[in-house]
Every structure is written in structure tokens, then in C-alpha cells.
């Protein structure tokens, strides 16, 4: 029987990846340049249009809104489409079978593009969940989940219909990708909608942080890594025309990678209020992840080992070799950054940004380019238009990455060191936050573009990005010229009449004694870490017992490990099941105890005060503007953090768990382009309980949002003039409070009218405090009570209300605070002490 492969779907995905890749990179360059020159947020249009456009910026392209667009476009649009192209192309050939359903392929392709379009529209509008790489609003989340199911359905159906009995290693990685991304995406996006475009995460505070970074870290693992490893395992030996280096390395590194990766999420939250046991798991699993990651690199590079001559002649091999090398570099750097002591310095700085770009530009981008250059002439009856253009692309991209990553490393380390440096005599910190920023963006007071700023570390990052996109444009042109005028290729293959089928009796396999003992072993081994003293020793003994039982049961039923594994490879359902168990374990063990243990009971003596309706509305504005992209709300348990951000005279003024207990979603942040805001708020004033005055007063904040450089010379924060012209949506607040109650925030019962009334009263009270001093350039006609009334309606006042509430808590000690709790190693330790 002759079958024809579906080449159309890989063709479509490849073209989509090229187009969206350009968009993602362009947005990245704009966002990067905004950090050097805040005027790139739209102010520059004044010059470009000779004054026709007037304003301090365009709200749709501020950094806070562009950055999510950039990350989502790079991950889901560029790498996503590239990954689908590679998977659709290779899976058919590895299964000797056309993709199961052309209709599903079509739905997958067009559905995915529509989702991307939706993201490209909603994110600049400020419609966001504020969870990194999961910013998309809930209707788009549902669409992603549905399209992912379509993809998975199509893929597994193809596996079921395959004509090749055994599964090749590339397919293992695709299987892991599909099930894990589905699991992560669905759990992290559990939310209660308040309107068609807005929702609150069902998780709050610590739990939300944990779930988000379980997702965020593994989006990198299972969206940017495993599928690309699968692609490497197919396209690299194909292009090099050499056998893969080691089958057993594939096995060991695949299983250790998918099992260990999931656990490493908490390394995004080191030295924060996250309980110590989770931080330790995050760090220690990251260290264990080094070897499995390098297993992939070794298998890639060693496959090429006797064919280095091809590097000189074949651009495809060049891209693959460098891509895999960057993978090795980034996966060495990852565990390094996950060491708590290193993370002290690197976290919240540009070092992390440099790290992820080594991964995306170096690993994903180079692998994508290699794959495109290899696939295009095969998907169309054609020859690559220009090898020298491909070579040029290679060198430009390489220099671009090195400039980018090098400047970010330097900037991160420099800023990290400066932030922790003590003054002469060691009595305080040496530098103001803004001085550390000026050191890396080279700007003076920030009011004017200086010559120096063009030679700053931030500028060189932008230049690196420009080089990279220049190379990518060459790639797009090269592919375009290659396919222009050539006919689409149709590949056929002869296959036997009867397809290969799974050979194991599934029921018997699932019910095997061996598998049962494996689970018992894992269960007790886990308990050994979590149970209090003595009980843990029993768990260890039981672990040994079940290990022995497992080995006995295995020997009874099976000839050898390799036989067992060969059999597994001919049965995709048991294989998929085992993969799912491997990836699910880490999440279950980290998240479930924290849900049971760390709610209300573990607040470290401080319980967050609830937001008033107006403050909640202000918080929604904070989220919509993407403030969390540059500001953290987390004072780590580190000397420089407590010294810089803690209150004077309170030695234990790091952020406590309970301070963000009711924050749905959490706002701990992951990068400090600006200072931390956890202690920005303050107590209610005696004159009016509606008004709070924190570290700074209301007029300061008012002036700051109009012109950040007036209050903080040297700042690169954009101005937010539109907050002074857009109204707070008072009518929406009751619905939002209702949703907050649903996710567990204990708001007292209030009717709609009371909520709105309360919000308006508080807004008037706050506006009143600046009635005599505020000056609004856009409405110079307003003054006195008229100005107060006008301002009270605008978003600026609700945002100020929120900022003045930041960090508000009540002291609260629990009676059983010191009692050891089951499943919580930290309380057990404290109690033992």
C-alpha cells in the first residue's frame, strides 16, 4: 500500500513560525530599547511626526504591556509553530503513516494562529492575568486548551495507526511535551472569570507563586526544551546522515530529564517567603538536572563527532551544532543560577534575562533556523536559494547572541553587586537603586537622550537583538526565494497492508505486580522526606522493602531490562502512562502539601489586611499596566533586601508569607528594573481612615506617574498620562469582589451599592488630600473641589490607593504556630529545635 505524507501542515506551520518569529523579535527590540531610552514608549513619535503627535507615550506599547507580548510571541508563536512544523513532519515519517486527520491538522493550524492573533490584540490592550507566560485572558486559555487537545488527539491517533512498531526517541519527547503542557496549562490557568476579559486566579499568595513557577519553569522545559530535543533527535542525524551516538543515553537522559525537570520550579522563588523545604527541592533538583540536560547535548554533539567536516560545508549542521552547544551552555547556567547563594546575586537582575535568551536565541532560534533550511527544500521541490546567505545569517545571529547575552550577564552581575555593596564603614548601602540602573543604561537624569547611553550595556543588548533579527530576516528571504515558484513536494512510502499494533495486553500490564511495587516505593520514599522524626525511618525501611519486592516481581515476569523497555517502545499507551506519572509526581508532591499546610496556618505572624473596593480596583490597574514586569513585591530574607526595602528599625522586615495570602494572583514579581514595592504602603491617617500615607505621600505618587523623572531623576519608567484620563470602573468592583470571595478571600458581606459607595468615598478622600497641591497638565482649567471630583473618578486615584495599601498587615500569632505539622518539614524542624 502506498501512502502520501501530509506535507502541507508542516509547510504552513513553518511559514507561520517565520512570520511570528519576526514579530516576536521586533517587539523584543522595542521593549529592550525602552529600558535604555524610555522615550521609545511612544514619546519619540513627537519627533518623528514633527509634533503632530503629542504625548509622553502610547499606552499600548509601554514595557509593561509589550514584554508579555514579546515572551508569548517568542514562546507560543515562534517556537510553537516551529515545533508543530517539526513534529508534524517527523512524526509521520517515524510512524510511516500519514497524520491521522487532515481536518484536525487544519483546525490545529488555524486555531493556533487565531489564538496568537487574539494574544497580539489583547495583551497591548492591558488584558492580562499577570502570570508570566500565562498572561492570556481566560477565553484564550480555553481556546489554547482545546486546540492542544486537538493536537494531542491527532498525534496519538497517528501513533495508534502507525506502521512502524517501535517508537523512536524523538516521539518520546513529543509524548512528554503534549501531556505535560496540557497538565501545566490547565492547572495554572484555573481561574474565576469576572467578565469576558478578566478573571482571578483560584490560587493566592504563596500557592499562586508556586503553581505559577511550576508552570513557568516547565513551560521552558516542556515547550522550549523537550519538543526541540525531539526535533534534534530526528533532524540532526538526518542532516548529518549519521547514527545517533547512544541509545542507552537517550533512555537515561529522557527519563531523568522529564522526571527531574518538573521539580525545579521553586528555584524561581529562592530566598523569598517560600518555605525552605520547597526552596531546597527547587535548588537540589536543579543541580540534579544538569546531567540529564547534558545527556541531550552529548547525544547531539557526539552524533556529529566524526563528521565535523560537514560543519564547514553544510549550514544546517552549523546551526544545529551551535544550537546544541547553546543548549549545553544554558543548561549548565541554569543549575548554577539555581544555587541559593548565586541566586542571591542574580535573581531580579538581567543575568536571568541573559540566561533565558541564551536558551531562546541560541538553542531554539538556531535549531529553528537549521530545521527550516533543511525542511524547505524538501517540502518544496527545490534547492536552498543561497547557502552563503544562510552562512551570513549564522554569523550575524551568533554575534547578536553573544552581544546580547554578554551585555546581560555583565549588567546583571554589575547591578547585583552594586545593590549589595555596603558604604564606607559598613553601616548602610552604598548605592541608591536608580544609581545601579544608571550604571547599566548609561543615562544621566533621564530627561534627555545622552551619547553615553548609546554605549551602555542596555544599548548593546538592543544592538544584539537588532543583529539577530537582521539574520532572521535573511533567513525569511532565503526561504521565500527557495520556495518561490517551486512546486510543493509530495512524499510517498510503501507500507504493509496491516499496520503495526500495540503488543502488550494493556490491562494486564497496568495490573502488574512490578508496577504496583514501583508506586509503593515512590510513595514511601517521598514520605521519608516529609514525615516527622522516627516515622521517616519507618518510611525508609518500607522503601527498601518495596525496592526488594519490585526487583523480585520484575525478575519473575521479565527477561531483562532491555527486553522490558523494547516492549514498552512498541506500546504507546503504557509508555505515555509512565511518562505522565514521571512528570506528574514532582508537581503533586510540591503543590499538594502546600495547599494542605500553608493556608492561613502558616503566615509567619503577619496576616494581610484585605483591600478596600477602591484598592482592589487600583490593583487591577497595576496588573493591567504590567507593573509586575519591573517591580517585585517581595523582600527576600537577605541582608541587602531587608536593608534597602525593609522599614528602619525592624530587623525582621523581610516579606512574610501571610502578607500576600489573599493576593489572587500573587504579585511577587521576577525582575527588578525598578525597586521593590512591598513596603510602599503605610498606615491609615488619623484625620481620615480612608487615606493612607506610606513611604511617599499622595502628591509624590501623583507627580511620579505624570513624570517619573521629576520625582526620581534617572528613572527609566514610562510616564502614565492616560491614568489621569481614564475612569476607574466603579460598576465592575462588586462583581470582582464576588469573584474574590469565591476564590477564598474573606470579604465581609457587602451589597453592590455599599461597595460602590465605599469606593467613591475613598476616592474622594484621597483626591481631597492633593486638592490644593496637584496640577494636572491635561486639565489646567480644573482646581479646588472640581479637580478633586474629577480626579476621584480617574484610575490614578485608585492606583495610588492600592500603592498606599501595599504591605499592610495585622500581627497575628497562632496558638499552635510552633507545633510540628505532618507534611511540613520546616515546622517539624522548628519544633525539634
Of residues 259 through 288, those in contact with another protein by CB under 8 A are 271, 276-277, 280, 284-285, 287-288
- 654, 665 in Cβ contact below 8 A? no
Contact region with another protein (CB under 8 A), list: 20-28, 56-64, 193-201, 428-436 = 428-436
Instruction: Compute the distance between CA of residue 343 and CA of residue 266 in angstroms, rounded to an integer.
Output: 12
Beta carbons within 10 angstroms of residue 484's beta carbon = 10
User: Under DSSP, is residue 422 helix (H, G, I), strand (E, B) or coil?
Assistant: strand
Q: Residue 220: in which H helix or E strand, if any? A: helix 205-223
99 contributes a contact to another protein by CB under 8 A? no
Question: Which residue lies nearer to another protein by CB, 111 or 675?
Answer: 675
| 195-198 contacts, C-beta under 8 A, 24 or more apart | 195/732, 195/735, 196/139, 197/122, 197/127, 197/137, 197/139, 198/127, 198/137, 198/620, 198/732, 198/736
Instruction: Compute the distance between CA of residue 151 and CA of residue 109 in angstroms, rounded to an integer.
Output: 9
750 contributes a contact to another protein by CB under 8 A? no
Question: Which residue lies nearer to another protein by CB, 410 or 685?
Answer: 685
**Do you know the residue count of the chain?**
833
654 contributes a contact to another protein by CB under 8 A? yes
Closest by Cα among 622, 573, 631, 661 to 803:
622
521 contributes a contact to another protein by CB under 8 A? no
Contact region with another protein (CB under 8 A), list: 308-316, 407-415, 501-509, 651-659 = 651-659
DSSP readout, 9-66? HHHHHHHHHHHHHHHHHHHHHHHHHHHH-GGGGTTHHHHHTTTSS-SS--GGGSHHHH
Asked if residue 355 belongs to a known ligand binding site, the reply is yes
Asked if residue 347 belongs to a known ligand binding site, the reply is no
Closest by Cα among 392, 369, 408 to 467:
392
Cell of 427: 553601616
Burial, 476: exposed, middle or buried (Cβ in 10 Å; 0-12, 13-18, 19+)? middle
Binding-residue pattern over the window 215 to 234 for another protein, x denoting contact by CB under 8 A: -------------------x
CA 251 to chain centre: 28
754 contributes a contact to another protein by CB under 8 A? no
To another protein, the closest distance from the beta carbon of 243 in angstroms equals 4
Q: Taking the chain, what is the end-to-end CA distance rounded to the nearest angstrom?
A: 73
Among 68, 126, 152, 237, binds another protein (CB under 8 A): 237
Contact region with another protein (CB under 8 A), list: 66-74, 109-117, 138-146, 238-246 = 238-246
Rg, C-alpha atoms of the chain: 28
> Tell me, what DSSP letter sits at residue 747?
P
Question: Which residue lies nearer to another protein by CB, 487 or 686?
Answer: 686
- How open is the CA angle 589-592-596, to the nearest 5 degrees? 135
Question: Which residue lies nearer to another protein by CB, 74 or 270?
Answer: 270
Among 51, 243, 748, 749, binds another protein (CB under 8 A): 243
Question: Which residue lies nearer to another protein by CB, 26 or 291?
Answer: 291
Instruction: Compute the distance between CA of residue 459 and CA of residue 462 in angstroms, rounded to an integer.
Output: 5
106 contributes a contact to another protein by CB under 8 A? no
347 contributes a contact to another protein by CB under 8 A? no
93 contributes a contact to another protein by CB under 8 A? yes
| 699-707 contacts, C-beta under 8 A, 24 or more apart | 699/769, 699/770, 699/773, 699/774, 701/800, 701/803, 701/804, 702/770, 702/774, 702/796, 702/800, 705/796, 705/799, 706/777, 707/56
To another protein, the closest distance from the beta carbon of 217 in angstroms equals 17
Question: Which residue lies nearer to another protein by CB, 298 or 396?
Answer: 298
Question: Which residue lies nearer to another protein by CB, 428 or 689?
Answer: 428
Q: Mind spelling out the 3-state secondary structure of 318-352?
A: HHHHHHHHHHHHHHHHHHHHCCHHHHHHHCECHHH
697 contributes a contact to another protein by CB under 8 A? yes
325 contributes a contact to another protein by CB under 8 A? no
To another protein, the closest distance from the beta carbon of 542 in angstroms equals 17
Among 101, 195, 512, 711, binds another protein (CB under 8 A): 711
Among 163, 250, 441, 482, binds another protein (CB under 8 A): 250
Asked if residue 253 belongs to a known ligand binding site, the reply is no
Contact region with another protein (CB under 8 A), list: 125-133, 244-252, 351-359, 739-747 = 244-252
Cell of 718: 514610562
784 contributes a contact to another protein by CB under 8 A? no
Among 157, 245, 565, 747, binds another protein (CB under 8 A): 245
Closest by Cα among 327, 229, 258 to 587:
258
DSSP readout, 540-570? HHHHHHHHHHHHHHHHHH-S-HHHHHHHHHT
42 contributes a contact to another protein by CB under 8 A? no
Q: Which residues from 161-200 bind another protein, rule CB under 8 A?
A: 164, 166, 168-169
Question: Which residue lies nearer to another protein by CB, 492 or 773?
Answer: 773
Among 21, 80, 295, 300, binds another protein (CB under 8 A): 295
Question: Which residue lies nearer to another protein by CB, 59 or 824?
Answer: 824
Contact region with another protein (CB under 8 A), list: 195-203, 499-507, 646-654, 784-792 = 646-654
Contact region with another protein (CB under 8 A), list: 218-226, 349-357, 616-624, 707-715 = 707-715
Instruction: Compute the distance between CA of residue 265 and CA of residue 713 in angstroms, rounded to an integer.
Output: 37
639 contributes a contact to another protein by CB under 8 A? yes
Closest by Cα among 42, 36, 39, 37 to 60:
42
Instruction: Compute the distance between CA of residue 64 and CA of residue 622 in angstroms, rounded to an integer.
Output: 10
Phi, psi (rounded to 5 degrees) for 500: -70, 140
Instruction: Compute the distance between CA of residue 376 and CA of residue 11 in angstroms, rounded to an integer.
Output: 8
To another protein, the closest distance from the beta carbon of 284 in angstroms equals 4
Among 101, 195, 197, 246, binds another protein (CB under 8 A): 246
Among 487, 494, 497, 686, binds another protein (CB under 8 A): 686
450 contributes a contact to another protein by CB under 8 A? no
Q: Which residues from 525-564 bind another protein, rule CB under 8 A?
A: 529, 533
To another protein, the closest distance from the beta carbon of 301 in angstroms equals 12
- 8, 448 in Cβ contact below 8 A? no
To another protein, the closest distance from the beta carbon of 751 in angstroms equals 32
Question: Which residue lies nearer to another protein by CB, 69 or 764?
Answer: 764
Asked if residue 70 belongs to a known ligand binding site, the reply is yes
691 contributes a contact to another protein by CB under 8 A? yes
779 contributes a contact to another protein by CB under 8 A? no
| Binding footprint of another protein, residue count (CB under 8 A) | 91
637 contributes a contact to another protein by CB under 8 A? yes
To another protein, the closest distance from the beta carbon of 103 in angstroms equals 25
Phi, psi (rounded to 5 degrees) for 401: -60, -45
Among 428, 488, 511, 785, binds another protein (CB under 8 A): 428
Q: Which residues from 802-831 bind another protein, rule CB under 8 A?
A: 825-826, 828-830
> Tell me, what DSSP letter sits at residue 211?
H
Question: Which residue lies nearer to another protein by CB, 691 or 764?
Answer: 691
Cell of 6: 501530509
769 contributes a contact to another protein by CB under 8 A? yes
Beta-bridge partner residues of 191: 201
To another protein, the closest distance from the beta carbon of 173 in angstroms equals 14
Contact region with another protein (CB under 8 A), list: 141-149, 245-253, 509-517, 553-561 = 245-253
Can you say which residues are annotated as belonging to the binding site for heme b?
A: 70, 355, 357
Can you say which residues are annotated as belonging to the binding site for Cu cation?
A: 217, 267-268
Can you say which residues are annotated as belonging to the binding site?
A: 70, 217, 267-268, 355, 357
Amino acid at each position: 500500500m502506498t501512502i502520501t505524507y501530509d506535507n502541507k501542515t508542516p509547510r504552513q506551520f513553518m511559514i507561520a513560525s517565520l512570520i511570528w518569529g519576526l514579530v516576536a523579535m521586533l517587539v523584543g527590540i522595542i521593549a529592550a530599547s525602552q529600558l535604555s531610552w524610555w522615550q521609545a514608549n511612544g514619546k519619540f513619535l513627537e519627533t518623528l511626526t514633527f509634533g503632530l503627535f503629542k504625548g509622553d507615550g502610547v499606552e499600548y506599547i509601554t514595557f509593561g504591556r509589550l514584554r508579555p507580548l514579546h515572551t508569548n510571541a517568542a514562546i507560543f508563536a515562534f517556537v510553537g509553530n516551529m515545533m508543530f512544523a517539526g513534529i508534524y513532519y517527523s512524526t509521520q515519517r517515524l510512524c510511516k503513516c500519514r497524520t491521522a486527520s487532515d481536518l484536525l491538522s487544519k483546525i490545529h493550524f488555524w486555531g493556533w494562529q487565531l489564538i496568537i492573533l487574539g494574544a497580539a490584540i489583547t495583551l497591548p490592550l492591558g488584558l492580562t492575568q499577570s502570570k508570566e507566560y500565562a498572561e492570556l485572558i481566560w477565553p484564550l486559555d480555553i481556546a489554547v486548551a482545546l486546540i492542544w487537545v486537538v493536537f494531542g488527539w491527532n498525534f496519538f491517533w497517528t501513533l495508534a495507526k502507525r506502521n512502524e512498531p517501535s517508537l523512536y526517541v524523538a516521539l518520546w519527547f513529543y509524548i512528554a511535551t503534549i501531556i505535560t503542557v496540557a497538565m501545566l496549562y490547565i492547572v495554572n490557568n484555573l481561574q474565576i472569570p469576572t467578565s469576558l476579559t478578566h478573571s482571578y486566579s483560584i490560587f493566592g499568595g504563596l500557592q499562586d507563586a508556586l503553581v505559577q513557577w511550576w508552570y513557568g519553569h516547565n513551560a521552558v522545559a516542556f515547550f522550549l526544551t523537550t519538543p526541540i530535543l525531539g526535533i534534534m533527535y530526528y533532524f540532526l542525524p538526518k542532516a548529518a546522515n549519521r547514527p545517533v551516538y547512544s541509545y542507552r543515553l537517550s533512555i537515561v537522559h529522557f527519563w531523568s530529564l522529564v522526571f527531574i525537570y518538573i521539580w525545579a520550579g521553586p528555584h524561581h522563588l529562592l530566598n523569598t517567603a517560600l518555605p525552605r523545604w520547597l526552596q531546597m527541592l527547587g535548588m537540589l533538583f536543579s543541580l540534579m538536572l544538569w546531567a540529564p540536560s547534558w545527556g541531550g547535548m552529548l547525544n547531539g554533539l557526539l552524533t556529529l563527532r566524526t563528521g565535523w567536516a560537514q560543519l564547514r560545508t553544510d549550514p544546517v549542521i552549523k546551526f544545529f551544532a551551535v544550537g546544541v552547544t547553546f543548549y549545553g551552555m544554558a543548561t549548565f547556567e541554569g543549575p548554577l543560577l539555581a544555587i541559593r547563594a548565586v541566586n542571591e546575586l542574580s535573581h531580579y537582575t538581567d543575568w536571568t534575562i541573559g540566561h533565558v535568551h541564551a536558551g531562546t536565541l541560541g538553542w531554539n532560534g538556531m535549531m529553528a533556523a537549521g530545521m527550516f533550511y533543511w525542511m524547505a527544500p524538501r517540502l518544496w521541490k527545490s534547492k536552498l536559494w543561497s547557502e552563503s546567505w544562510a552562512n551570513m545569517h549564522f554569523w550575524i545571529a551568533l554575534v547578536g547572541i553573544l552581544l546580547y547575552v554578554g551585555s546581560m550577564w555583565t549588567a546583571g552581575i554589575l547591578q547585583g553587586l552594586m545593590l549589595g555593596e555596603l558604604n564606607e564603614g559598613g553601616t548602610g548601602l552604598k548605592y541608591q537603586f536608580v544609581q545601579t540602573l544608571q550604571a547599566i543604561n548609561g543615562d544621566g537624569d533621564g530627561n534627555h537622550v545622552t551619547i553615553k547611553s548609546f554605549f551602555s550595556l542596555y544599548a548593546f543588548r538592543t544592538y544584539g537583538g537588532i543583529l539577530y533579527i537582521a539574520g532572521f530576516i535573511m533567513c525569511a528571504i532565503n526561504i521565500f526565494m527557495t520556495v518561490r515558484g517551486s512546486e510543493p513536494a509530495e512524499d510517498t512510502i510503501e507500507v504493509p497492508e496491516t499496520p503495526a499494533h500495540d503488543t502488550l495486553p494493556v490491562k494486564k500490564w497496568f495490573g502488574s505486580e512490578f508496577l504496583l511495587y514501583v508506586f509503593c516505593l515512590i510513595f514511601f520514599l517521598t514520605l521519608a522526606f516529609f514525615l516527622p522524626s522516627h516515622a521517616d525511618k519507618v518510611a525508609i525501611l518500607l522503601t527498601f522493602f518495596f525496592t526488594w519486592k519490585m526487583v523480585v516481581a520484575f525478575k519473575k515476569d521479565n527477561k531483562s531490562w532491555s527486553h522490558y523497555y523494547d516492549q514498552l517502545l512498541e506500546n504507546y499507551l503504557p509508555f505515555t502512562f509512565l511518562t505522565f506519572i514521571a512528570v506528574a509526581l514532582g508537581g503533586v508532591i510540591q503543590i499538594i502539601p502546600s495547599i494542605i499546610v500553608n493556608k492561613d496556618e502558616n503566615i509567619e505572624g503577619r496576616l494581610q489586611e484585605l483591600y478596600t473596593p477602591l484598592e482592589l480596583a487600583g490593583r487591577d490597574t497595576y496588573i493591567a499596566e504590567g507593573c509586575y514586569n519591573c517591580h517585585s513585591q517581595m523582600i527576600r530574607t537577605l541582608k541587602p533586601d531587608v536593608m534597602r526595602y525593609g522599614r528602619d528599625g525592624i530587623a525582621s522586615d523581610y516579606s512574610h508569607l501571610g502578607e500576600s495570602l489573599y493576593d489572587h494572583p500573587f504579585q511577587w514579581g521576577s525582575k527588578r528594573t525598578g525597586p521593590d514595592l512591598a513596603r510602599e504602603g503605610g498606615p491609615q491617617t488619623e484625620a481620615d481612615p480612608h487615606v493612607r500615607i506610606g513611604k511617599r505621600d499622595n502628591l509624590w505618587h501623583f507627580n511620579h506617574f505624570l513624570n517619573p523623572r521629576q520625582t526620581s531623576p534617572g528613572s527609566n519608567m514610562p510616564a502614565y498620562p492616560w491614568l489621569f484620563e481614564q475612569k476607574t470602573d466603579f460598576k465592575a468592583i462588586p462583581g470582582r469582589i464576588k469573584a474574590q470571595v469565591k476564590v477564598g478571600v474573606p470579604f465581609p458581606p457587602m451589597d453592590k451599592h455599599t461597595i460602590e459607595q465605599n469606593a467613591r468615598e475613598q476616592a474622594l478622600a484621597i483626591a481631597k488630600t492633593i486638592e490644593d497641591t496637584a496640577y494636572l497638565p491635561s486639565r489646567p482649567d480644573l482646581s479646588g473641589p472640581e479637580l478633586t471630583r474629577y480626579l476621584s473618578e480617574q484610575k490614578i486615584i485608585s492606583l495610588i490607593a492600592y500603592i498606599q495599601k501595599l504591605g499592610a498587615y495585622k500581627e497575628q500569632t497562632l496558638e499552635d504556630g510552633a507545633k510540628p505539622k505532618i507534611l511540613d518539614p520546616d515546622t517539624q524542624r522548628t519544633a525539634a529545635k
